[in-house]
Structure 1
Amino acid sequence: MKLAICDDEIVFRKQLIESIDKYYKNYSNLDIYEFSSGEELLESYDSGAVYDIVFLDIEMKDINGLDTAKIIRKYRRNEIIVFLTSHTKYAIDGYEVNALRFLEKPINQEKLISTLDYIDINFSTKKSLLLHTIDGDSIIYLDDIIYLESIRNYVHIYTRVKSDLDGRVKEHKVRKNLKDFLEDLQESCFYRCHRSYIVNLDYVCSYDSRQVSFRINIYNSSQIKNILYQNEVFLSIFGKIIISKVGGVVCRKN
């Protein structure tokens, strides 16, 4: 796990690192990176850095924490952002960058532990992939992948935009072939329906005698639907491995 702490007060950074180290004392794979300004943190992103959690001070000189977070989100990152602030008035602005929580300075240890507990319970179990895309490194969660498409020497991975059902997706372009992803995806709800496509069946909500339906409107869906509809193996196993669920479907192992 990689954590970034960005705060212009060195004493505060050291205290926070000490508290986090205590929480993760039995965690063998923990790396904590310190930054004294938003510029330093963003430079690390330019160099290809990837973090799981970013603790970010709001009130810093030059570029503040909110503006830093907005730029971080432009990197197509899924990092968990926890803001550090002396003033809760900034809380509303945090929704713009999908911040997880605000911790008020001086940090209350119980609230810090509660935040880390929440992250551990709700995020650590989500499987993710580290992608070396043509735009740089990016972490994506398997649950967010809608489908993968092979085009020549590249795989295009399409992930959903959070809270968006209108067809907006993110595209990640990786120089690999589909079979390179099969091992990473084998325990999840993915199905290779064609030599050029792997589809997340969790986004397929139903099929009947006329069509296959997705629970999200996606670009290029008509071609994928046709492939699935003509795939006899998919049609035969769909009802066995998928159970209906409000708003979509989930996988069930037999």
Structure 2
Amino acid sequence: MNEKITVLIVDDERFSREELNFLLESYERIDVIGEAASGEEAVMQSLKLQPDVLFLDVEMPKMDGMGVAKAVQELKKVPEIVFATAYPDFAVEAFRHQAIDYLLKPFDEEQLSETIERIEKKFQQGEKKAEFHPSKLAVEVEDTIEYLNPSDIMYVYREDRITKIVGRERMYETKDALKDVEQRLQGFSFFRIHKSYLVNLDYIYRLTPWFNGAYQLELQGTNEKLSVSRNYVKDLRNKLEL
């Protein structure tokens, strides 16, 4: 993959921000997407830009680096932390925040190179994990567990507090909520057409206007017509059409 690793530089001293920005320009995978001059601004920029890594000064007025590191743990995307400071005394506390590294000012290029190497290794490991996902949907059938190939599933629906999985050859039932099954099928060609229905896009062959903006959907391999809520029609057509 080798996608860019996005960085936000946080330091209340402009010269330090400019120096670090300049040094990071020589690293191909590093993309500095923003700077922040205070702890408060760092949290706001992290929320807005969602960087992969914060290069974070420790000593700042009001909210210091440790405060920022704690605050960003609450964000949806939690960035990795590299602390940068002129004071070595903060090292123990920094690693309590699971920092990748701890850089001392003035920046040493060799030390920075080692830090970037650690960052790249960390993200390479994450990419390898992201590349793997289960290829089968597990469904409990009586006292056994059956593993379904998602490509064999035509549609899934919820009825009477039971989720029913309609395959090409048979139907399966599970007590799992529809949203849980939908989550497990992410990465495959499934789309919600109704609050109670999830359909495999590969089996769709006809969409017919019905009433009040709703449509009826026909699938290969079954004569049953499924209702497409008008709230989902536009997104469904965008998914299907070239």
Q: Are residues 1:191 and 2:135 paired?
A: yes
Q: Which amino acid aligns with 1:36?
A: A
The answer for the alignment partner of 1:54 in structure 2 is 54
The answer for the alignment partner of 1:230 in structure 2 is 145
Query: How far apart, CA to CA, are the structure 2 residues paired with 1:13 and 1:227?
Result: 62
Query: How far apart, CA to CA, are the structure 1 residues paired with 2:142 and 2:16?
Result: 56
Structure 1: 5+ residue stretches without partners: 129-140, 143-186, 195-223, 235-254
Q: 1:231 to 1:114 in 2, by over 3 A?
A: same
Contact 1:17 1:32 in 2 (8 A): no
SS class of match (2:99): coil
Alpha carbon RMSD of aligned pairs, Å?
A: 2.7
The alpha carbon displacement at 1:53 in A equals 1.1
Which structure's relative contact order is higher, taking Cα pairs within 8 Å and 6+ residues apart? 1
Query: How far apart, CA to CA, are the structure 1 residues paired with 2:110 and 2:142?
Result: 52
Identity %: 26
The answer for the alignment partner of 1:10 in structure 2 is 14
Any residues of structure 2 matched to 1:92-107 within 5 Å, and which? 92-107=92-107
Any residues of structure 2 matched to 1:28-43 within 5 Å, and which? 30-43=31-44
Contact 2:55 2:82 in 1 (8 A): yes
Could you state the TM-score of these two structures normalised by the residue count of structure 1?
Answer: 0.51
Query: How far apart, CA to CA, are the structure 2 residues paired with 1:192 and 1:33?
Result: 41
Structure 2: 5+ residue stretches without partners: 150-242
Contact 2:53 2:81 in 1 (8 A): yes
The answer for the alignment partner of 1:65 in structure 2 is 65
Greater Rg, structure 1 or structure 2?
2
Q: Aligned pair count?
A: 145
Q: Which amino acid aligns with 2:44?
A: E
The answer for the alignment partner of 2:27 in structure 1 is 23
The alpha carbon displacement at 1:228 in A equals 10
The alpha carbon displacement at 1:111 in A equals 0.2
Contact 2:87 2:104 in 1 (8 A): yes
Any residues of structure 2 matched to 1:204-219 within 5 Å, and which? none
Q: Which amino acid aligns with 1:39?
A: E
Contact 1:193 1:227 in 2 (8 A): no
The alpha carbon displacement at 1:191 in A equals 3.1
Q: 1:225 to 1:99 in 2, by over 3 A?
A: farther
